[in-house]
Structure 1
Amino acid sequence: MSNVFESSIVIDGLIIAKWGRDVFEDMRKGGLTAANCTVSVWEGFQGTVDNIAKMKKMVAENADLLTLVRSTDDILESKANNKTGVILGFQNAHAFEDNIGYIEAFWDMGVRVVQLCYNTQNLVGTGCYERDGGLSGFGREVIAEMNRLGMMVDLSHVGSKTSEEAILESKKPVCYSHCAPLGLKEHPRNKSDEELKFIADHGGFIGVTMFPPFLKRGIEATVDDYVEAMDYIINIVGEDCVGFGTDFTQGYDKGFFDWLTHDKGRYRRLTSFGRIKNPEGIETIGETPNLAEAMKRAGWNERKIQKVLGENWLRTFKDVWGS
């Protein structure tokens, strides 16, 4: 690891790996200070509570590697103790069902980031693969409650209109935890220059993904292409509101992707990604230090590297969480 990487707070804005000791060891090998770890996509309330219970059990059983994050102080503590902080996050508000009270229940369990929609329509609004009807009345109540508690609103898989209305509705910064620029690759999941500028102009945050179907060269992409995508966004919004969110799916097989890419996990197919091969140089979580080297190769100074590796995420989390 380089000196700048070793001294930096390193926060991955989204990982949806097959959680287990091997992945946790790789997170430590990769020098992650913290990561937003997905514990809900298509699951309802009960299924999500089950997932959280399993994750907390794993955190306890792997306490030599992990800590649970409820505040930014916990992130700083994980850095001091050479551990990785697990931030509990959802990729869908489906688990809230139609009960505003569930939001605080999940907050009490430790959930700190929730994406409003996953690709399609739910009670809150619309995902990026459907005609977008915007934020619902219930969705406005959900955002108000998330703001009150200090829970990050994530718009990565959310439709353009719903995202715009959510950005305007939220009294606290919102984020795209894992997205890539449409200007480099045409894809329904990617964000246009206008969308990137809009979220930044309203105090929001952008985590850049390396998921190969969203990068310019697809499965031919390298870690340098990933940094190019970051620089593209930084050139639009500046370096203070950009971080990284890999979207690592480490350990999962085709069956998992079939479940993810069908609406509600079981009905119509929404998209097909084909063969998934992470960018050369950052094919596993353990290779995250290579990101700092690629940033150096791209001519980034030390301050810019530190900010994008994690300091920007840390500041934004503090703004949203309140501590």
Structure 2
Amino acid sequence: MDSRCASRLGGIGGYNDTGGGYLDQSNPRMYCTGGYCMGDTMMASATGRGLCGEELELDMRRHIQACACTCNHMGYGNYMDYQTTCLTELPDVAPCNGTVRLPGPCEDSPSSGTSSKDRRRDNGPRRKYRLLAPVLLLVAALLLGGLCLPLLLQSAPATHQQRLDVIRRILTEVPLIDGHNDLPWNVRKFVHNQLGEVNLSSDLGRVDPWAKSDWSHTDIPRLRAGLVGAQFWSAYVPCGAAQLNAVQLSLEQIDVIRRLAEMNAQHLTLVTSVKGLVEAHREGKIASLIGVEGGHSLGNSLGVLRTFYGLGARYLTLTHACDTSWAVCSVGETNATQDSTPGLSEFGKAVVRELNRLGMLVDLSHVSTRTMNAALQTTKAPVIFSHSAARALCNSSRNVPDDVLRNLAKNGGIAMVPFYTYFITCNSSATIKDVIAHINHIRKVAGIDHVGIGAGFDGINFTPTGLEDVSRYPQLLATLLEDPTWTEEDIKKLAGLNVLRVFGKVEQVRDEWQKAAVLPVEKISPPDNSACAYGVS
């Protein structure tokens, strides 16, 4: 404490031995020690005795004006700070860069007609708000920061390379699942299913006859480069085999898929469930799933369907490019034929119900619009379009009309966009942006939860620029991130979460039906009198 303050307080009051300071007895509420003077609100806090802020402020001012010391008086300054003509002003004191901000010109004066009591009453709320202001500002800043920080963290990366880095991270968290790949048919076509003649771990783009074919886009190095987490391999046989040896050929194609996974076990693993798919991704392997492409592969037998399921098949495309006796394909479909065809016969509806009971996905790619609607009305589980785009953007009967997309959303299913240019732009050329246009259209009409990817590689001979083979999926997803309306969560849904949800719901329906003891469907298809088969009468 300044010696002048000590001598003054000593003359008026006396040294306080217990507190190590001086008590100003002309103002017994003030206590000076260690270079600071304090009001007795602090001294009396333990006993519950104290003053309100206005009274302390008035007493502090009176003390400072009478005190000759140069101490800071708890931030209120000293007598030099109060050499003003506005002697009755109660200063609003606020720290400013470590100093004291003094009041401006006097607003209250004795001539204002306002009593000291009124001034204290009016000044109290103002001071309270001023004291609360920094706290409120701090709270607001914290709240705003909490809201804005996630948005800032999710802001679109600036460069394509940065977006690719984001995609690589995302695809370690969620498997990229493609709905359709025809590699098994190329194995049959090029090497007659002699797996010893093909090394899938090599770059087939440099190996004849694969390198010379516009229909070849797949091998393990490119699958790895494309960060593929799961692939539905197509067990396809041509429609020419219908009612002949389609069942045998389908069994052979399922066998090829299973053996490809076994021979390349370091990279591929056969999967038949959501759980297995997730585990494969966690282990860094590509989950290999089987889809049977075309109802003609059944030979009109639900027993064959159950056999396919037992061998690992997890979806059935109801038709390929040919009708069956129980379902109508998209080939030759016009507005007139849509009205005249039944879509699904009673046996066709039984096929859908048996797929539900087994836990197999109903695939509506290749079917007519009437068959799409009939299947959506029959199924009790979500369906998929394993490789179909939006008909509104490319008027191909292989694509999905908007009204069906809306019904698909109600069903909970998913449309998986292909990369075949004739389904994207209806001609031989297309770009990544054209594929994105279909993805965005399906997202707009059906919703983000109902769109996926089903490129159709190895079964197409015209691909979009930038999507030439299975290594290019990250380029597509990174380009989507250029659009600020696409979030990381949206990318995850498109890449794989939507398929996992649909597949999981199909398994849930299967489990519920098992608990309800729903029996296998034993309906027999009417015989095809033109078939060359034993037992037909």
Name the TM tier (shorter chain).
0.7 to 0.9
Q: CA-to-partner distance for each residue in 1:222-279, whole Å, 9 max, x for gaps?
A: 12221121001100111011111111126xxxxxx7xxxxxxxxxxxxxxxxxx4311
The answer (yes or no) to whether the contact 2:270–2:288 under 8 Å persists in 1 is: yes
Q: Does residue 129 of structure 1 match 2:331?
A: yes
The answer (yes or no) to whether the contact 1:116–1:124 under 8 Å persists in 2 is: no
Aligned to 2:177: 11
Mapping for residues 133-282 of structure 1, pairs under 5 Å:
133-216=342-425, 218-249=427-458, 276-282=461-467
- Rounded Cα–Cα distance in structure 2 between residues aligned with 1:8 and 1:33: 8
Displacement of 1:165 after TM fit?
0.5
Aligned to 1:27: 223
Q: Does residue 289 of structure 1 match 2:491?
A: no
The answer (yes or no) to whether the contact 1:114–1:151 under 8 Å persists in 2 is: yes
- Rounded Cα–Cα distance in structure 2 between residues aligned with 1:91 and 1:98: 14
Displacement of 1:153 after TM fit?
0.5
Higher RCO structure, 1 or 2 (CA under 8 Å, sep 6+): 1
Aligned to 1:260: none
The answer (yes or no) to whether the contact 1:41–1:118 under 8 Å persists in 2 is: no
What's the TM-score, normalizing by structure 2? 0.54
- Rounded Cα–Cα distance in structure 1 between residues aligned with 2:432 and 2:296: 33
Displacement of 1:80 after TM fit?
1.2
Q: Does residue 62 of structure 1 match 2:62?
A: no
Give the AA of the match of 1:277.
F
* Aligned-residue CA RMSD (Å): 1.8
Give the AA of the match of 1:318.
G
Of all paired residues, the percent bearing the same amino acid is: 29
Q: Which runs of 4+ in 1 moved over 4 A?
A: none
Displacement of 1:302 after TM fit?
0.6
Displacement of 1:217 after TM fit?
6.8
Match of 2:283 among 71, 81, 84: 81
The answer (yes or no) to whether the contact 2:442–2:450 under 8 Å persists in 1 is: no
Gaps of 5+ in 1: 251-256, 258-275
Aligned to 1:269: none
**Could you tell which deviates more after superposition, 219-228 or 230-239?**
219-228
Q: Does residue 310 of structure 1 match 2:496?
A: yes
- SS of the residue corresponding to residue 481 of structure 2 reads helix
Displacement of 1:4 after TM fit?
2.5
Larger radius of gyration: 2
Give the AA of the match of 2:406.
K
The answer (yes or no) to whether the contact 1:227–1:298 under 8 Å persists in 2 is: no
Aligned to 2:77: none
- Rounded Cα–Cα distance in structure 2 between residues aligned with 1:8 and 1:174: 21
Q: CA-to-partner distance for each residue in 1:107-156, whole Å, 9 max, x for gaps?
A: 11000011001122103310001443310111111111111100000001
Displacement of 1:310 after TM fit?
0.6
Give the AA of the match of 1:35.
Q
Aligned to 1:301: 487
- SS of the residue corresponding to residue 315 of structure 2 reads strand
C-alpha distance 8-291 of structure 1, shift in aligned 2 (>3 A): farther
- SS of the residue corresponding to residue 448 of structure 2 reads coil
- Rounded Cα–Cα distance in structure 1 between residues aligned with 2:300 and 2:491: 42
Displacement of 1:190 after TM fit?
1.6
- Rounded Cα–Cα distance in structure 1 between residues aligned with 2:322 and 2:478: 37
Give the AA of the match of 2:179.
G
The answer (yes or no) to whether the contact 1:144–1:170 under 8 Å persists in 2 is: yes
The answer (yes or no) to whether the contact 2:395–2:426 under 8 Å persists in 1 is: no
Match of 2:302 among 91, 94, 100: 100
- Rounded Cα–Cα distance in structure 2 between residues aligned with 1:123 and 1:150: 23
- Rounded Cα–Cα distance in structure 2 between residues aligned with 1:277 and 1:49: 29
- SS of the residue corresponding to residue 386 of structure 2 reads strand
- Rounded Cα–Cα distance in structure 1 between residues aligned with 2:171 and 2:300: 43
- SS of the residue corresponding to residue 256 of structure 2 reads helix
Displacement of 1:9 after TM fit?
1.7
